[in-house]
A and B are shown apart, each in its own frame.
Chain A
Amino acid sequence: MKRILIALVLAIIAITVVAPSLIATHDPFALDVINRLQPPSTEHLFGTDEAGRDIFSRVVHGARITIGSSMAIVFFAALLGTLIGASAGWFGGRIDSYLMRVVDVFLAFPYLVLAMALAASIGRNMGSSILALILVWWPGYARMVRGQVLSIKNELFVKASRAIGTGNARILRWHIVPHTSRAVIVRATLDIGYVTIALTGLSFLGLGAQNPSPEWGLLISNAKAYVLFGWWYSVLPGLVLVGVVSIFVVLGDRLSKEKGR
């Protein structure tokens, strides 16, 4: 039963990301200043903002930007991290210790500082935020994959493979990759949630998305000024954000238990 529910919700998210116009009720950029700051109604499900735009439609269109970017970030971070971690673990020695030093530097680095610096140089847009987050997130994967590779490397069946002369690439593909991909997928699912939080935080500060983009962090930041005039403006989009992130976290949790880790 729960599975169906999760699948349903994921489908809705997928549609929202791919084809928001199907779900949104209005044009997210259409101004209607006469109707500014209206509370939720049947016409405007989430009410309107300070320029009369329908908040629900903005949230729906914002999903593509926010969630789409999170997924992209996680994808590239996982890719980069896995490559580096697997190389470090597999080749060992100098390469390993050098790569791990690099990982150490990035690992605990506060994403905010990096994002600010990047935004200061490349400019304030989603691109710099996405880049900053990829740079901060990949070390987690590197460390995890390296650990996994190290533990398998010494397994008997890998030694046996090598003994009969199987090439490195083959071993990586057929033994190492299947084993680590499970852990990577679980972590990636969870990370989509965490990255979304970080990303919206950056936009909230003005580093990522810029007006009039309906990106969620920016949306909530805009709502800040009208906190006393329209609770729906900050509360409702926030609830959607929390809901979506929760789904990814719960999904990741489910996946981790299922694979029997």
Chain B
Amino acid sequence: MKNARTLTSRSRFLSRAARFLNRLWWLLVVVWTAVTLTFVLSRLIPADPARLAAGLQAGPEQVEEVRRQLGLDRPLLEQYFNYLSGVARFDLGKSIQTRQPVVDDIFKYLPATLELVFAAFITYAILGIVFGVLWARFPRSLGSKALSLFTVLGVALPVFWIGLILQVVFAANLKWFPLAGNLPYSKYQVEFVTGMGTVDALLAGDIPAFGFALKAMVLPVTALVISQFAVSTRLTRSTMTSELQKQYVTAARARGSSEARITIFDALRNALNPVITMLGLQFGWLLGGTILVEVVFSWPGLGLYAFNAFRTFDYNPILAITIVITITFVIVNELVSLLYPKLDPRLRRQ
């Protein structure tokens, strides 16, 4: 029955393709919603962007000229479609503040933000899981009591305040770390390649510069980690505790497995599922926190860029950042849901 078999494998492929397209469609819908929403909101602002763009000294004719240049004299719907078509062509307009195409600005500032985001995410994810597991495994130890206290506090610490305190104590007073900013490219004569201080220093082979770039990252990343660590630790611990009480753990002990093996290979496997979901959701908080941290430490990333754009009603960048963040989110969420079947065999399609 060879035909029957080819039929099923083909239909399986089609259903996979259908699912993938469905997901892609969903991504587009979400992004489109976010873009449209932001566009609508941004066009409702009471202030006159043309005037702001022209500058406060500009006379009425100049303001009109700027208005024409920016296309703000067109009917709203036309502006909207122009914008959408621009987005499709990767043209996100110009920033009034920097006078550069927004797309260029984004590529310039995104890497520095990514530097912070990745470092912070990996750190608090690993720390959270490790400490959460240890806490669940040894609930009455001194360390666990300390963790209990610390995580309650950790949740309550606003990231901007922590950043400020770290700045005061470690940068201003102790002078162990730089007060603000990342790698000063001109001072170290390092070429701006990616925008990530650490990477560019490595590319230039400049070890002292690399060291400085790393030091500059410490305080902002610490602030981010502190603000997020409590959540991931608490969650890991509670899921681990409930897993460790399950029947199959007793059965594994009865077989003679060691506690360590059971903790890692049995309980943790099942506990990771909700933890990873949470980490995915926490990403939103992380991005918000990164903006705050960039402001406190004057870190030249998208957060600072967005903050400045926002303060000057420069809405092309605001729109663009909305799109970037929304896409990042949806991608992160998709990645997380792709992980589920890997972790829980019951969800796999046979």
Nearest residue in B to A140 (C-beta to C-beta)? B281
A152 CB–B CB distance under 8 Å: no
A163 CB–B CB distance under 8 Å: no
**When chains A and B are docked, how far (Å) is the Cα of A185 from the Cα of B332?**
30
Nearest residue in B to A250 (C-beta to C-beta)? B152
Minimum CB–CB distance for B77 against chain A, Å: 18
Contacts of B159 in A (CB 8 A): 201
**When chains A and B are docked, how far (Å) is the Cα of A209 from the Cα of B158?**
17
B121 CB–A CB distance under 8 Å: no
Which of A31-39, A114-122, A174-182 sits within the interface? A114-122
Which of B12-20, B130-138, B165-173 sits within the interface? B165-173
**When chains A and B are docked, how far (Å) is the Cα of A46 from the Cα of B346?**
58
Q: Which of A110, A119, A120 interacts with B284 by CB under 8 Å? A: A110
Residue contact A242 to B157, C-beta cutoff 8 Å = yes
**When chains A and B are docked, how far (Å) is the Cα of A68 from the Cα of B222?**
31
Q: Which of B155, B156, B158, B315 interacts with A201 by CB under 8 Å? A: B158
Within 8 A of A (CB), among B306-350: 306-307, 310-311, 313, 315, 318, 321-322, 325-326, 329, 332-333
A241 CB–B CB distance under 8 Å: yes
Residue contact A113 to B42, C-beta cutoff 8 Å = no
A105 CB–B CB distance under 8 Å: yes
Interface bits A140-153 vs B (CB < 8 Å: 1, else 0): 00000000000000
Contacts of B172 in A (CB 8 A): 227-228
Residue contact B38 to A224, C-beta cutoff 8 Å = no
A210 CB–B CB distance under 8 Å: no
Contacts of B160 in A (CB 8 A): 200-201, 204, 217, 220-221
Within 8 A of A (CB), among B277-320: 280-281, 283-285, 287-288, 291-292, 295-296, 306-307, 310-311, 313, 315, 318
Residue contact B329 to A109, C-beta cutoff 8 Å = yes
Contacts of B43 in A (CB 8 A): 121
Contacts of B21 in A (CB 8 A): none
> Beyond A197-B156, A227-B164, A234-B161, is A117–B318 a contact (Cβ under 8 Å)?
yes
A107 CB–B CB distance under 8 Å: yes
Residue contact B310 to A108, C-beta cutoff 8 Å = no
> Beyond A110-B329, A119-B310, is A245–B156 a contact (Cβ under 8 Å)?
yes
Contacts of A107 in B (CB 8 A): 281
Contacts of A194 in B (CB 8 A): 155
> Beyond A110-B329, A112-B291, A113-B321, is A120–B42 a contact (Cβ under 8 Å)?
yes
Residue contact A238 to B161, C-beta cutoff 8 Å = yes
Residue contact B156 to A108, C-beta cutoff 8 Å = no
Contacts of A235 in B (CB 8 A): 165, 168
Residue contact A201 to B153, C-beta cutoff 8 Å = no
A98 CB–B CB distance under 8 Å: no
A73 CB–B CB distance under 8 Å: no
Sorting the interface of chain A by its residue count into under 10, 10 to 19, 20 to 34 or 35 or more gives 35 or more
Residue contact B295 to A238, C-beta cutoff 8 Å = no
Residue contact B41 to A201, C-beta cutoff 8 Å = no
B44 CB–A CB distance under 8 Å: yes
Contacts of A200 in B (CB 8 A): 158, 160
Nearest residue in A to B157 (C-beta to C-beta)? A242
Minimum CB–CB distance for A217 against chain B, Å: 8
Minimum CB–CB distance for B89 against chain A, Å: 23
Residue contact A118 to B152, C-beta cutoff 8 Å = no
Q: Which of B37, B280, B325 interacts with A110 by CB under 8 Å? A: B325
**When chains A and B are docked, how far (Å) is the Cα of A2 from the Cα of B101?**
59
Contacts of B24 in A (CB 8 A): none
B46 CB–A CB distance under 8 Å: yes
Contacts of B291 in A (CB 8 A): 112, 205
Residue contact A246 to B33, C-beta cutoff 8 Å = no
**When chains A and B are docked, how far (Å) is the Cα of A120 from the Cα of B315?**
8
Residue contact A201 to B288, C-beta cutoff 8 Å = yes
Residue contact B288 to A110, C-beta cutoff 8 Å = yes
Residue contact A120 to B296, C-beta cutoff 8 Å = no
Contacts of B46 in A (CB 8 A): 123
Nearest residue in B to A221 (C-beta to C-beta)? B160
> Beyond A242-B157, A245-B156, is A120–B313 a contact (Cβ under 8 Å)?
yes
Minimum CB–CB distance for A186 against chain B, Å: 14
Q: Which of A111, A121, A223, A228 interacts with B288 by CB under 8 Å? A: A111
User: What are 26 pairs between A and B in contact, CB < 8 Å?
Assistant: A108-B280, A109-B34, A109-B284, A109-B329, A110-B288, A111-B288, A117-B318, A117-B322, A119-B310, A120-B310, A120-B313, A121-B43, A123-B46, A197-B156, A201-B160, A207-B310, A217-B158, A224-B164, A227-B168, A228-B168, A234-B161, A241-B158, A242-B156, A249-B152, A249-B155, A249-B156
9 tightest CB-CB pairs across the interface, nearest first?
Answer: A245-B156, A121-B41, A121-B44, A112-B288, A238-B161, A246-B156, A110-B284, A117-B41, A204-B160
- Measuring CB to CB, which residues of chain B are less than 8 angstroms from any residue of chain A? 30, 33-34, 37-38, 40-46, 152-153, 155-161, 164-165, 167-168, 172, 280-281, 283-285, 287-288, 291-292, 295-296, 306-307, 310-311, 313, 315, 318, 321-322, 325-326, 329, 332-333
